[in-house]
Amino acid sequence: MGLKITENLKSQFYQKREIFLLELMIYGSNPQNSSRISLQNSQELILGRSHDADIPVPWDDRISRKHAVLTVQQKQVSVKKLSTAENHIFLAGSEQDEFLIEPGNAFVIGSTSFQLVESLSSFSSPRESPLEEVTFKPNELLKVRYRDADQRIDVLAHLPELILDARNDADLFHRLVTMLLSGVKHADAVAVVRLNDDDRVEVPFWERRRQTQGGFRPSGRLVLEAVKKSRRTVLHVWAAKDELQHQEDYTVVAEFDWAFCTPIEDGSSGTWGLYVAGELNHPFQLTVPQGAGGIDLQADVKFTELVASIVKSVRRLNQLERQQAGLRQFFAPPILAAIGDNLNTEILEPRECDVTVLFCDLRGFSQHAEDSSGDLIGLLGRVSQALGIMTSHILEFGGVTGDFQGDAALGFWGWPFSSDLAPLDACRAALAIRAAFEQIKLQSDHPLCDFRMGIGIAHGRAVAGKIGTSDQVKVTVFGPVVNLASRLEGLTKHLRVPVLMDEATAQIVRDKMDRQEGRVRKLAQILPYGMEKPVIVSELLPPESQSETLTDEQVACYETAVDYFIRGQWEESFRLLHAIPPSDRAQDFLALQIARTNRVAPVDWDGTIKFDSK
């Protein structure tokens, strides 16, 4: 297919009105640390780590509070390092204290890259239309064969490594452009392009095969058609440049005879594209017969689409890994597996289910806060470290961290999947937290050595999932069982034990937990403050083999004493309590209740100890 270009056509197709604006693209080592600054002619801007700087870069400690002054000079920017700045500025790998940059150039301070880009705003008219426009549909290029397959495969083999090794978007764009120039040998220029909210074309990075060829300005119409409208590769063909240079209305669009744009939607940088352009040295043909000379644009488009597909896949994989890394703070690996690679959050919708709730709190926090009033940041660090111990063991045993309440952590099991092992996993987490704090207590120089904790565990029906308002939600659990777990944690201080559980949990532990993992000791029948029904509370104990714990015989003796106490036979109960080692603090609670009435149960005794406060 050839095209004949007449003199009348030449004057029609290259009438444009364009506005060029400068912007400074900032890329930190963390993808979240990126920003964009619009520049105006004659502006003088201070770049530094201070929030008061005109161009603030607070995340990079290698940048001084005021590091450099940038002066905008039409289509250039002057960069000058301030005398107070400590670290060097690098331009093209060398230290520079003062220099000029043009669009497409970049400089580096610390781990942050700064690139000057030229945004192009196009006001297109029908007369700007190319002589030929081709939109490539899916699978249309499958039968296209490469005449230089070995060279292209060699380039593609390094692409995944190239993407993964990129420090930031600026580095990735530079690598992609360089790689495409190697893979598309007929291209004279390659660029990364994207549209902003106003449909202005941004060019984060571009490169020409020969630097002496000058600047680079893509067709706004082509980018808009490919990136936003069709979301497919679009090819525009204008004409051979030597046919048009004598025309008075010859414009920058005519510096290339053909260009195509391939969109990339990777979910992290929005929708952007790869723009490839070149010149014709013969009448245009979309396909070139095998063995014929000239440019095979279909093969170049196929190669670029393959590059775009690999970039999209690798970038989405990286994004998924980052998302899952964030979700690991909340979910155990089995829950992440259930959500799936597509992060299907429908499974997180709230529903009623049987759950086991663990509430863990630091004891004496108010006193710690008062004692550390002069160093609240230090106290926050210690509390965060303590909460980290709690949550790490909750996640270790398959639980979900539902909430933080100051110095307390909430974990729960049984959602999003029901499990008969949920109460056992909750108890395993509680025993691990208890052991961790007991080990820390033995280390006098540990920052948490003076911290104590209490844990309440309860099992029952609740609503779990995404809970909140239309503006903000969190994954947590809601219902009376949560309140009960919190009350049990509070009762650990009165009953002088580290871990308390309700009767539902205790019964499951008795029936299903190996005694080499943990044991149960019934402590009392209690009516917590604000509740209507009494509950039998039990202590979760480590196995008998662990040092400084009660033997199974002593546990049985204590539970017999509790039964006598509930039945009102306080003399017998008191006698059995004294067979327990004095180091066991739980006996103090019952012994005090008995001693108050001279070892005689009240006339109206119903076996329940009532609390009039939390």
The C-alpha angle with vertex 608 and arms to 498 and 456, in degrees rounded to 5, equals 25
- Give residue 341's pLDDT band: very low, low, confident or very high (50, 70, 90): low
pLDDT score of 252 more than 50: no
pLDDT one-digit tens code per residue, 265-291:
765 555 789 999 988 765 555 554 444
Report pLDDT for 426: 96
pLDDT score of 141 more than 80: no
Beta bridge partners of 190: 207, 276
pLDDT one-digit tens code per residue, 421-454:
899 999 999 999 999 988 888 888 887 777 788 9
Q: Which of 101-105, 472-476, 490-494, 600-604 has the lowest mean pLDDT?
A: 472-476
Three-state SS at 250: coil
Contacts (Cβ under 8 Å, ≥6 apart) of 211: none
Q: Which residue, 331, 354, 544, 565, is CA-closest to 462?
A: 354
pLDDT one-digit tens code per residue, 452-497:
889 999 999 999 888 877 676 777 889 999 999 999 999 999 999 9
Q: Which of 39-43, 281-285, 335-339 has the lowest mean pLDDT?
A: 281-285
pLDDT score of 339 more than 70: no
Architecture of domain 1-16+128-327: 2-Layer Sandwich (3.30)
CA distance 469 to 314: 35
Dihedral sign, Cα of residue 213, residue 216, residue 222, residue 228: positive
Share of the chain above pLDDT 70, in %: 76
Q: Which residue, 321, 36, 315, is CA-closest to 172?
A: 315
Report pLDDT for 127: 38
- Give residue 153's pLDDT band: very low, low, confident or very high (50, 70, 90): confident
Q: How far is CA 85 from CA 35, 43, 109, 570, in A?
A: 22, 21, 11, 79
CATH topology of domain 340-513: Alpha-Beta Plaits (3.30.70)
In SS3 terms, 81-142 reads as ECCCCCCCEEECCEEECEEEECCCCEEEECCEEEEEEEEEEEECCHHHCCCEEEECCCCCCC
- What is the mean predicted confidence (pLDDT) over 17-24? 63
pLDDT score of 184 more than 80: yes
Report pLDDT for 16: 39
Integer distance in angstroms from the first to the last C-alpha of the chain? Answer: 87
- What is the mean predicted confidence (pLDDT) over 578-598? 89
CA distance 121 to 38: 14
- As a whole number, the mean pLDDT across the chain is 79
Domain 17-123 = CATH 2.60.200.20: yes
In SS3 terms, 134-177 reads as EECCCCCCCCCCCCCHHHHHHHHHCHHHHHHHCCCHHHHHHHHH
Report pLDDT for 553: 94
CA distance 173 to 206: 8
pLDDT score of 541 more than 90: yes
- Phi–psi pair at 255, nearest 5 degrees: -70, -20
Q: Where along the chain do the CATH 2.60.200.20 domains lie?
A: 17-123
Q: Which of 60-74, 239-253, 393-407 has the lowest mean pLDDT?
A: 239-253
pTM score, whole prediction: 0.53
Beta bridge partners of 275: 191, 261
- Give residue 160's pLDDT band: very low, low, confident or very high (50, 70, 90): confident
Strands 473-478 and 499-501: unpaired
- Give residue 518's pLDDT band: very low, low, confident or very high (50, 70, 90): very high
Report pLDDT for 247: 44
Share of the chain above pLDDT 90, in %: 30
Report pLDDT for 548: 78
Q: Where along the chain do the CATH 3.30.70.1230 domains lie?
A: 340-513
Report pLDDT for 79: 95
**What are the structure tokens assigned to 69, written together?**
């002054």
